């Protein structure tokens, strides 16, 4: 075994954001690296994920944090992929590629039971942070379990050029949706939805009211709404949903940085007469779907029928910049940080 590095750089939360997070809420620090104790492995991270749900763990806004809050002064946890460089447990060898939850740092000491071996030969490492990871499972569980999608449904996906939304729309298309509609924040992203991801219709939510554009795109209404945005998108979807329509409440990125509670959808009473179902979801509740998800999605990935985009930011120094970019729409598809060593 080659000599281990002496230190590792890692991102810490040093202040709880009020409203939109600021660079000074985070600090890039050095920590010592030691040989892993019994039952642990030491991983050199190659990529780590930044995700909107992390905002809820940074603050104290009720309702948005469905994982325990980050401790101030501790490394920011999240999914990462890398290579085992030291192992003190059977089953993991030096050189193995693994997925883990060790977070925003160059080197992570990980308990063996919290690491998953992955195959980086057939798909890129980053796929396990996006299309074959929590992102893909969120889209799969939200569409099929929460929204009870069935062939012939008309589907609207908000934030459809993002990591989860882009997968949800494609899964609906591949599974026989009668129409798939998406919203995005730029004309360029709208073009990606139509030409690359195969959406039937898409619109730029910044150019006109969402409700007006959705009504035009969905002449016969919608049966399923996959929500990653909240706010005016949810209100618009309620108006366009047909009777017995279903809503998967996967995210509400438009509201994560709000200091004051936002007004609820003004038309929520329509859900009564239309007999709508609105159901929230947390991806970790759906781990039993993993075998079916992996089988279905891997087949679509191998065949090229399902594609995915990644926005890769280079260097651990850009970790918080990448995270903050999620809230200004800097990413198309999955936002990932690539580490330099």
Predicted pLDDT at 254: 75
**Does the pLDDT at position 24 exceed 90?**
yes
**Does the pLDDT at position 85 exceed 80?**
yes
- Comparing CA positions, the residue from 296, 341, 280, 291 lying closest to residue 146 is 280
Predicted pLDDT at 59: 81
Please name the residue ranges forming H helices in 176-229.
187-195, 210-217
pTM exceeds 0.75, yes or no: yes
Give the pairing of strands 201-204 and 179-184: parallel
Predicted pLDDT at 226: 98
Whose structure tokens read 């809230």? 327
| Range from 233-242, 247-256, 263-272, 310-319 carrying the lowest mean pLDDT | 247-256
**Does the pLDDT at position 144 exceed 60?**
yes
Q: Model confidence over 190-206: pLDDT tens digits?
A: 999 999 999 999 999 99
Q: What is the mean pLDDT of residues 235-250?
A: 97
**Does the pLDDT at position 62 exceed 70?**
no
Predicted pLDDT at 60: 61
CB-CB neighbours of 136 under 10 Å: 29
Predicted pLDDT at 177: 98
Q: What is the mean pLDDT of residues 320-324?
A: 95
* pLDDT grade for 65, boundaries at 50, 70 and 90: low
Domains (range + CATH), the chain: 7-130+309-338 (3.90.180.10), 134-284 (3.40.50.720)
Mean pLDDT, the chain, rounded, equals 93
Residue 71 sits at the vertex; the CA angle it makes with 69 and 75, to the nearest 5 degrees, is 110
* pLDDT grade for 166, boundaries at 50, 70 and 90: very high
Give the pairing of strands 222-227 and 154-157: parallel
Predicted pLDDT at 61: 55
pLDDT above 90 covers a percentage of the chain that reads 83
Tokens of 318: 């850009």
């Amino acid at each position: 075994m080659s000599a281990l590095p002496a230190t590792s750089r890692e991102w810490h939360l040093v202040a709880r954001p009020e409203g939109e997070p600021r660079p000074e809420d985070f600090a890039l620090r050095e920590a010592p690296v030691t040989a892993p104790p019994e039952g642990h492995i030491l991983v050199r991270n190659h990529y780590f994920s930044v995700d909107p749900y992390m905002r809820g763990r940074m603050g104290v806004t009720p309702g948005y944090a469905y994982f325990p809050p980050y401790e101030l002064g501790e490394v920011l946890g999240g999914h990462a992929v890398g290579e085992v460089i030291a192992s003190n447990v059977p089953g993991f060898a030096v050189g193995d590629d693994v997925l883990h939850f060790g977070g925003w740092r160059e080197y992570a000491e990980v308990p063996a039971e919290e690491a998953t071996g992955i195959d980086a030969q057939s798909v890129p490492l980053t796929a396990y942070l996006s299309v074959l990871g929590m992102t893909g499972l969120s889209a799969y569980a939200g569409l099929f379990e929460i929204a009870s999608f069935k062939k012939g449904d008309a589907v609207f996906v908000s934030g459809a050029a993002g990591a989860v939304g882009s997968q949800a729309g494609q899964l609906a298309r591949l599974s026989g949706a009668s129409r798939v509609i998406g919203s995005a924040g730029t004309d360029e992203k709208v073009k990606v939805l139509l030409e690359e991801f195969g959406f039937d219709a898409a619109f730029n939510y910044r150019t006109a009211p969402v409700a007006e554009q959705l009504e035009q795109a969905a002449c016969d209404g919608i049966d399923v709404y996959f929500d990653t945005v909240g706010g005016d998108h949810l209100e618009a979807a309620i108006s366009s949903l047909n009777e017995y329509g279903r809503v998967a409440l996967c995210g509400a990125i438009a509201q994560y940085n709000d200091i004051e509670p936002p007004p609820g959808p003004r038309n929520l009473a329509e859900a009564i007469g239309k007999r709508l179902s609105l159901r929230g979801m947390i991806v970790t509740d759906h781990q039993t779907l993993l075998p079916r998800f992996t089988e279905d999605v891997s087949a679509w990935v191998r065949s090229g029928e399902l594609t995915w985009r990644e926005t890769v930011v280079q260097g651990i120094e850009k970790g918080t910049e990448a995270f903050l970019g999620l809230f200004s729409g800097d990413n198309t598809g999955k936002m990932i940080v690539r580490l330099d060593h």
